[in-house]
Amino acid sequence: MAALLGILSPVTFTGVKLPVNFRSRRRTAVKCSNERRVLFNRIAPVYDNLNDLLSLGQHRIWKNMAVSWSGAKTGDYVLDLCCGSGDLAFLLSEKVGSTGKVMGLDFSCEQLAVAASRQNLKARSCYKCIEWIEGDALDLPFGDCEFDAITMGYGLRNVVDRDRAMKEMYRVLKPGSRVSILDFNKSNQSVTRFMQDWMIDNVVVPVATVYGLAKEYEYLKSSINGYLTGEELETLALEAGFSSARHYEISGGFMGNLVAER
């Protein structure tokens, strides 16, 4: 159950030509550390392969669950925050169909270029409804109450201001709509915490070492330990203004998904 997939959602790729369906709508400087950017750069070349290998392909199940919990449906206008290479955005496009619209937002223009390149290889018409936006999760370049659903995969744990990110999601979401946030679960159970740490130390890091990325993946354990528990995530959402919030533990408590309704 070595699920490392979201160690970081906004991975940076270099030297990629920007696609025609990419545009920047960033209003302020993106708030992230240079150290984090270097980390993303190093992991990028093998990021997707390691996700599949270390989660045994289960990350695809978790992402489908997150999209289902968002409540996105045919014709909706939806947002995927910290979209990375686009996995959740592609799943959302299948939900909203060719009559809907998906905005995939990430701070890395290079990563967005990779997502758009993947999009161009997909034949179904629903995938053409995705637009990739360079932007900051702490200062979203959208108006109030625009979206019918929002997803965020492995991004909230890594932003520098979680409270502000949650308030921005609340602001741009329509009343009665939902946000679905997938990430590692910071469990209250000592056995689960022990197993999570053991898997990182004895499976994730050794495998990453083969790719020369041991130091980069050692970061995962500290980032989970510094994250919020399910109860704390629910409180965060309620304090941001959401009318209801529930955190679901999945995959034996290794992963978690927060569902909050505006």
Could you tell me the pTM of the whole model? 0.84
Q: Give pLDDT, residue 49.
A: 65
Choose between 188 and 219: higher pLDDT: 188
Q: Are 256 and 250 in contact (CB under 8 A)?
A: yes
Indicate if the pLDDT at residue 20 is higher than 70.
no
H helix runs in 101-248, sequence order: 109-120, 162-172, 190-199, 205-210, 214-225, 230-240
Average pLDDT value for residue range 222-233: 93
Query: Helix, strand, or coil here: 105?
Result: strand
Q: Give pLDDT, residue 210.
A: 82
What mean pLDDT, rounded, does the chain reach? 83
Q: Give pLDDT, residue 150.
A: 98
Q: How far is CA 139 from the centre of its chain?
A: 16
Most confident segment among 53-62, 165-174, 250-259: 165-174
Query: Helix, strand, or coil here: 216?
Result: helix
Distance CA 65, CA 180 (A): 9
The residues that bridge with 105 in the sheet, in sequence order, are 81, 133
Average pLDDT value for residue range 127-141: 94
Structure tokens at 142: 């959208």
Distance CA 251, CA 66 (A): 13
Average pLDDT value for residue range 158-177: 96
pLDDT band at 212 (very low <50, low <70, confident <90, very high): confident
- Of 37-41, 98-102, 128-132, 174-178, the range with the lowest mean pLDDT is 37-41
Q: Are 133 and 104 in contact (CB under 8 A)?
A: yes
DSSP annotation string for 1-35: ----TTS-SS----S-PPPTTEEE---S-----HH
User: For 31-72, what is each residue's pLDDT tens digit?
Assistant: 454 565 556 555 655 666 666 677 777 888 999 999 999 999
Distance CA 55, CA 85 (A): 17
Indicate if the pLDDT at residue 145 is higher than 50.
yes
Scan for tokens 């750069």, then name that residue.
41
pLDDT band at 18 (very low <50, low <70, confident <90, very high): very low
Indicate if the pLDDT at residue 8 is higher than 70.
no
Indicate if the pLDDT at residue 26 is higher than 50.
no
Q: Give pLDDT, residue 2.
A: 38
